[in-house]
Amino acid sequence: MTLYPIKFTPLFKYRIWGGNKLKTVLNKNYTEENIGESWEISDVKGDETLVSEGPLAGKSLRDLIKDFKEEVVGAHVYKTFGEEFPLLIKFIDAKTPLSIQVHPSNEIAKQRHNSFGKNEMWYVMEAEKDAELIVGFNQKVDKASYIKALETGKILEVLNNDTVSKGDTYYIPTGRIHAIGAGVMLAEIQQTSDITYRIYDYDRVDATTGKTRELHTDLAVDVIDYSFDSNYKTNYTIAENATNTLVHSPYFKTNILNIQGDIKKDFTDLDSFVIYICVEGSLDLVCSGKTYTVAKGETIFLPAAINDIVLKASNADVLEVYY
């Protein structure tokens, strides 16, 4: 069988802080309330997304890798990860703030949870007036002063708040304290991991359980990066009809493209799958004479065996992700 550009059926996740923008802005199809996350491409155990259309419909990523191996992910990725897929792609809508949290490194996550760590990045798609993200500390702290701030209820006073707008981008390495604030909708690219250490949750009660959510204070203390930075935001420039570097890390590489017209892409020298996430407008992806439309809030997966495509749009912003 010849592989083709693949869309997956998203998985929708209830969150205590979730809103309705994934439905009203991104046209996601669900009926539940407080949906905070749309998992677009996932190989998390028990939460695998399935191919939505074409001859491979109903298959999971794991199925595809098992059947087609490096044709799906590339020789290097297959050699490194086997049948596991290394990335998880999400859209997130925060009606109220997320908990203050931190993620463990690859080494600690493997040791404690037999999981990948969770290095991730955010691309802000929409932000209400004065909406904020929490990223890192706003002053120098150490383990002792952090614990004191936590115990005395002053943890928010030592955290860095950035007011954000559309297009703002942040790389969140493991160990960096962070939280998405109320009124922010974003695209998240991360390692395949669902390990989060919750540090502070505003003493909220989850209506579905009638209880506060579990905190992971002790687990978090040893993984936090206590260093201070004056700027946590990713600086980048964007030229139209060009591939602009956004975040390149050891775990994934993300570029941003503003497409006005046609862009030809040749991936002959790229030993990886490619994922396109449409964050504004709508684009057509042309492959082997067939056109695949990707609207705002949609994600499409390009198997590594595909080398030549054309991207067409009157005006679209697209994230391009690969390993």
Residue 157 DSSP code: G
Q: Give the integer Cα–Cα distance in Å for 178 and 160.
A: 9
Residue type at 74 in one-letter notation? G
Catalytic status, residue 198: yes
- 103 annotated ligand-binding residue: yes
Q: Is 216 annotated as a binding residue?
A: no
Sheet containing 197-200: which strands, arranged edge to edge?
A: 159-163, 132-137, 178-180, 100-102, 197-200
Phi then psi for residue 315, to 5 deg, are: -170, 100
Of 62, 112, 198, 213, which one is the catalytic site residue?
198
How far apart, in Å, are the Cα atoms of 256 and each of 127, 205, 217?
19, 38, 36
The Cα 120–Cα 89 span in angstroms is: 10
Distance CA 72, CA 81 (A): 12
* Binding-site positions for Zn(2+): 103, 120, 178
Catalytic residues: 198
